[in-house]
Every structure is written in structure tokens, then in C-alpha cells.
Structure 1
Amino acid sequence: MIVVTGAAGFIGSCLISRLNQEGFNFIIAVDDFSKYEKLDNLTGKTIQERVERSDFFAWLDENQEEVEFIFHIGARTDTTEFDRAIFDELNVQYSKEIWNRCVAYQIPLVYASSAATYGLGEQGYLDDEALIPQLHPLNPYGDSKNEFDIWALAQEKKPLFWAGLKFFNVYGPNEYHKGRMASVIFHAFHQIQKTGKMKLFRSHHPDFKDGEQMRDFVYVKDVVDVCIFLMNHRKNSGIYNLGSGKARTFKDLVTSTFNAMQIEPVIDFIDTPADIRDKYQYFTEASMDKLRAIGYAQPFHSLEEGIENYVTQYLIPNAYY
């Protein structure tokens, strides 16, 4: 059995689809299944059992001998949520419980960290574990992810194999339920479809022109391919960046979305909301050398390739991965 937490969510559901493609059908899907708005993500997927998030530890204690691998993808990911107690419960304490059981039951573990741990990038974007305690995330979500990374590195007892993945700006199918937290591509598609144009945040930084703020956008299909690689690799434990390795502008992103929709680009600029302006990242780019050094050789989708696939195969036909 392979456990996937956050199974009905964006990345978790795409991972299950990818596991099914590889012939893994004994999947234990863990999530808060009371959130009906994302359950369509599991339609058509082969799953052995659904387990409520609150029941998972009791389930694992009973079934641990049959569990071969755990992907802990589930988390509270809302960067605009400032109730630290929520993140402490769902992102820190829950992850510690999973880690400790993986140690006790000798189960390999891959868990979701985040590029939000890098804050404004004062220390750069190098996945050097010695730098992790020096990072300054910009919000409680990033703090919670960094806190768990620091805790994991400090543990004397670790799973036989483990990896924390610092996801950068992931986009792709099955993210429709994320609301404001969905990717800019998702919002651009729907805004263009409705109005024929797209609004982007104006730059409030002298070094960046409007629309030329840069992020590392990574297609979800690349993310789940890396997860599969690590499940098969099972050595070189540690914390890894997971981005495309190439920063691109929001203007590039929106232009690619217009092109995939076969619509002439029309972009307007609006002020960045005051509540996020002082916490806005103008540049992120994952250093991917560490993952490459352990043998991951597959190319990543370019921004244009990823958006073309996402728009034409999923957004336009309203399909799931």
C-alpha cells in the first residue's frame, strides 16, 4: 500500500493519477473528505481505501505492516491565513506524528515543504540544509513549513529514507478548488475567458518593470514525476528544491496563456493589494543542482509547454488529471 495525504487536493490527486499510471493501485487516500468541493479530483482514480485525516493515525497503527511508502502532501496552504494555531496543528504537529510513525514502523517518507520558507530570498534559493535555520518566511504558512524542516533535520531518529520537497509555484490541473491560492494561470484563463484581457499587479519595486516580477513556475506533472523518482530511488535523504530551475516573468506567463487560448494578449496593470505589498516576492528561482546530483535527469516542462498542456488538455475541456 502507498499512502497519500492531501489525496483529494491539487498535488495529491495528481500524484495518485501518476501512481495509477505506474501500476500502483493499492492507494490509501487520506484527507478531510468533508470538503466536498475537491472530491471530483478523485473521480476515475483507483484507490484501495479513503481514510479521514482525523482517523489516519489509528488506521496506520493497525495497518503499518502493509504500508510501503507515505507521501505526506496534505497541509494548510493558505498564505493569507494568520491563525498560527491552525498551521501548528495541521502542518507541524500532524507532520511530526507522521514522521515518528515512519521511524517506528520503518516506512519511507516524502513530505511537502515549500519555497515559502525562503521569504524574500535574502539567503538565496539554495537547498543547502545548513542555511535552513537562517531563513525568514513571510507568513505563518511559510513559518510552519520551515519549522518542520528544522525539526526534521534535528531528529536523531529518522525514517530509513525521507525527503522534504520545497515546492515552488506549482500550477496545473486539479487546482480549481483552491480559490485565491490557485495559480495565476488558472485565474488568467478564467479572467481572459470572461473579459478578453488580464489584470496583473503593478511593480512597486524600482528594479522590476510592471509585469516583470519573476517566479519559478513548475508544472504539476514535473512535481509528481520527481515524487515517483524519489519513491523508486530511496537513498540520499534530505531536503530538496522542486521548481523548474528557471525564473520567468508574469508577463511571459500571461502571454503564454493568451497564446494557448489563441487570443491576442491584452494586459492591464493594477496596484498590488496593500495587505500583501510588503510581503511580495519579486524573484524566486530554485537551484536544482542537488536533485540533479542524485540522478534525476528528466527535463522539466518549459513555461510555454506546461501552459499549453494545461490550457488545451484540462482548462478548456474542463478535465481532470
Structure 2
Amino acid sequence: MNKDSKIYIAGHRGMVGSAIARKLQAQGFENLVLRNSSALDLRDGQAVADFFAQEKPEYVFLAAAKVGGIVANNTYRAEFLYDNLMIQNHVIHQAYLHQVKKLMFLGSSCIYPKLAPQPLKEEYLLSGELEPTNEPYAIAKIAGIKMCEAYRDQYGCNFIAVMPTNLYGPGDNYDLQKSHVLPALLRKFHEAKQNQQTEVEIWGTGSPLREFLHVDDLADACIFLMQTYNEKPFLNVGTGEDLSIRDLAEMIAEVVGYSGAMRFDTSKPDGTPRKLMDVSRLHQLGWRHRIGLRQGIAQVYQEKFL
């Protein structure tokens, strides 16, 4: 990609797409093509075909997706499967028809089998049954990986795929019913400090292990791989480090300056005991995350709550 290359970011309003747009602009890439969902519905095949014919982007970051937490994934199973399949089918196919130089498809760590060994290596894909609650979303993302591989095999397209770990950072969701664990805990501890609560309730036992990557680091990895990686196998993107939910909660309490107690509600589910990405392939290519977890949490807290 050159500084004047025409780059389309699908999903530029989302957490990942907006981080990629920010990072590209900061690096001097100015020819970005951006459309929100009201201007371009990626589920509409004709609209996507017309857009590609008109704009003719050279590079595509496919970060658009219908996303949500466990409840949303399990409730709107048909929508999560249909919408995500349509979005990626249309964008990937039109990228092929209009001879896009390179496309990057962004997936999710939920593609891996529920009981896959830890840490999660790329070769564990399709080696077992998926987690039932988010199976439709995971199947759509697996289809996207396989579509990139198939278009490479049959048509010679330079389409690559990356699978990020759990993300946090600007643009995150802080709704306590729908958000992921890190933003939910940040909000809980902040409000507990403000309201002088004596304790904060945390779901589960606190023992599950989780990995967290700042979305700005993901954007950096995506641009690095767009510039350097041209192979068929998809790549995990993460830190290769994890910590328990209890340790995460203690770190967040410290950052927020909350000194009350933590109460673990063990009647609530823990979820998967551990979910850590194997990022040795990414490290071998020369990329590592830069933003430490404590530093990243402090930065997010400052931006969002102070």
C-alpha cells in the first residue's frame, strides 16, 4: 500500500474499523473510502456491486460485521448467520470481480472449537464442536476464512484473514447487559467509586483466564500484515499472555482507585476456563503488541470516564 492507494475500510464506524482508519490516517494514508451502513448496506448485493464499480478500491479491510455478546448471539441466531454471510460474501466476491490488489478479512477467536487445547493454534480450526451459544457467528466467520482461501486457490486473489483475541479500547461497549468483561468491570468499579459503594459484584468465580489486546495494537498488526503478509493460512492476532478475571478485576480497581471489596457471584457462569491465542506465527513475522494491559486500561479509563 502506498500513501495514495485507494483503501476501503468496511465497518469504519465499529471499534476495529475506526481503529484501522485512525492508524492509517496517522501514518499518512489519505485516500480512504468510508461508507456507513445507512449509505451502503453490505447485505445488499447490488448496492455493493455498484459501490465497487464506482469506487474501484485497491485495498480492502473487511471489518464490518454484526456483533454482540453471548445473549445477542444466542437470541438472534438467524440474523447473526445471515447478515454476516451476506456482508462477507458480497464484499469478497466484488473484491475479486473488481481486481482488488489485496483484501484482509477480520474474524474472531470464537471460530475455535469449544474444547480445543490451549493456547489456540491456527491448525485447531474445524477440529471439534463449536461453543453452541455463538455457533452461527462462528460459522459465518469460518466461511469467510474459507472463502478467502478458495478465491486465492481458484482465482489467485491475494486475500488474507486474521483472527483477533478479546479486544478493548476506544469505541468499546459499556452497556452492562451487553458488554464484554473488561469494559463492564471498568464501568462497575468507576460507578462504585463515585457512589462510595462498599463492594462490587463480579460474575463467576474469578478463575477463568482471558487474553486482552488493545484495539490500536490490532490496527497496527492489520496494517503491518497488509504490507508484509501474502500467504494463504490465516493468522491469530493477540498478546500471547493471559490473566485471571480476578487479577483483571484487581488491576482495574487499582487503576480506578477503588478500595472497596469484591464479591464473586458464583451462581453466575464462568464460561470457558481458558481462552488464549497462540501468536507464535505472528511473532515470527516480526510483530508484537506494544500496549501493556495496565497501561491500556489506564488510557481507556482516562479517555472514557475522566
TM-score range normalised by the length of the shorter chain: 0.7 to 0.9
Alpha-carbon spacing, 1:282–1:57, altered in 2? closer, same or farther (3 Å) = farther
Counterpart-to-counterpart distance in 2, 1:151 and 1:178: 33
Distance 1:299 1:113, change over 3 A: closer
Match status 1:284 vs 2:275: yes
Aligned equivalents of 1:266, 1:57: Cα separation in 2: 56
Q: 1:265 & 1:119 partners in 2: Cα distance?
A: 38
- Structure 1: distance between partners of 2:218 and 2:260: 29
Runs of 4+ aligned residues of structure 1 deviating over 6 Å after TM superposition are none
Aligned-partner Cα distance in 2 for 1:257–1:157: 49
Identity percentage over the alignment?
19
Residues 212 and 293, structure 2, Cα contact 8 Å, conserved in 1: yes
Q: Secondary structure at the match of 2:224?
A: helix
Equivalence for 1:43: none
Range moving further from structure 2, 214-223 or 133-142: 133-142
Match of 1:144 in 2: 140
Per the alignment, do residues 86 and 211 of structure 1 end up closer, same or farther by CA in structure 2, a change over 3 Å counting?
Answer: same
User: How far off its partner does 1:234 sit?
Assistant: 4.3
Whether the 8 Å CA contact 2:113–2:126 is kept in 1: the answer is no
Matched positions, count = 285
Q: 2:164 aligns with which of 162, 167, 172?
A: 167
1:206 corresponding residue in structure 2: none
Find 2:116's aligned residue among 112, 118, 122: 122
Contact 2:122 2:236 in 1 (8 A): no
**1:4 pairs with 2:1:** no
- Higher mean Cα deviation, 166-175 or 99-108? 99-108
Equivalent position to 1:306, from 296, 299, 306: 296
Q: Output aligned runs, 1:203-214, within 5 Å.
A: 210-214=205-209
Partner SS, residue 92 of structure 1: helix
Residue identity matched to 2:203: F
Deviation, 1:149, is: 2.3
Of the candidates 185, 192, 200, which is equivalent to residue 195 of structure 1? 192
> Secondary structure of 1:199's match?
strand
Summarize the alignment of residues 32-71 of structure 1 with structure 2, pairs less than 5 Å apart.
32-33=37-38, 51-53=40-42, 54=44, 55-64=47-56, 67-71=57-61
Report if the CA contact (8 A) 2:113-2:127 is conserved: no
Structure-2 residue corresponding to 1:41:
none
C-alpha distance in 2, partners of 1:167/1:265?
34
CA, structure 1 residues 88+158, in 2 after alignment: closer, same or farther (shift >3 Å)? Answer: farther
Determine which of 148, 153, 167 is the counterpart of 2:149: 153
Q: Which runs of 5+ in 1 are unaligned?
A: 34-49, 203-209
Relative to structure 1, the CA distance from residue 94 to residue 121 in structure 2 (aligned partners, 3 Å threshold; closer, same or farther) is same
Q: How does 1:226-245 map to 2 (within 5 A)?
A: 226-245=221-240
Cα displacement (A) at 1:303? 1.9
Question: Which of 108, 111, 116 is the equivalent residue of 2:105?
Answer: 111
Distance 2:177 2:30 in 1: 32
Aligned pairs for 1:166-185 (under 5 A) are: 166-176=163-173, 180-185=177-182
- CA distance, structure 1, for counterparts of residue 111 and residue 220 of structure 2: 22
Q: Closer, same or farther in 2 for the Cα pair 1:15/1:144, shift >3 Å?
A: same
CA–CA separation in structure 1 for the residues paired with 2:256 and 2:223: 31
**What is the alpha-carbon distance in structure 2 between the residues aligned to residue 128 and residue 240 of structure 1?**
7
Per the TM alignment, residue 181 of structure 1 is displaced from its structure 2 partner at its CA by: 4.1
Q: Distance in 2 between matches of 1:57 and 1:94?
A: 12
Does the 8 Å CA contact 1:132/1:150 hold for their aligned counterparts? no
In structure 1, C-alpha distance between the alignment counterparts of 2:246 and 2:218, rounded to whole Å: 23
Matched to 1:147, the amino acid is: A
Residues of 2 paired with 1:93 and 1:309: CA distance?
Answer: 36
Superposed CA RMSD in Å reads 2.4
* Contact residue 148 and residue 159 of structure 2 kept, 8 A: no
8 A Cα contact 1:167 1:241, kept in partner: yes
Three-state SS of the structure 1 residue aligned to 2:160 is: strand
CA gap of 1:23–1:304, structure 2 versus 1, over 3 A, is same
Equivalent residue runs for 1:244-283 within 5 Å: 244-264=239-259, 266-271=261-266, 273=268, 277=269, 280-283=271-274
Q: Unaligned stretches of 5+ in structure 2?
A: 1-5, 194-198
Q: 2:21 and 2:176 mapped to 1: Cα distance?
A: 22
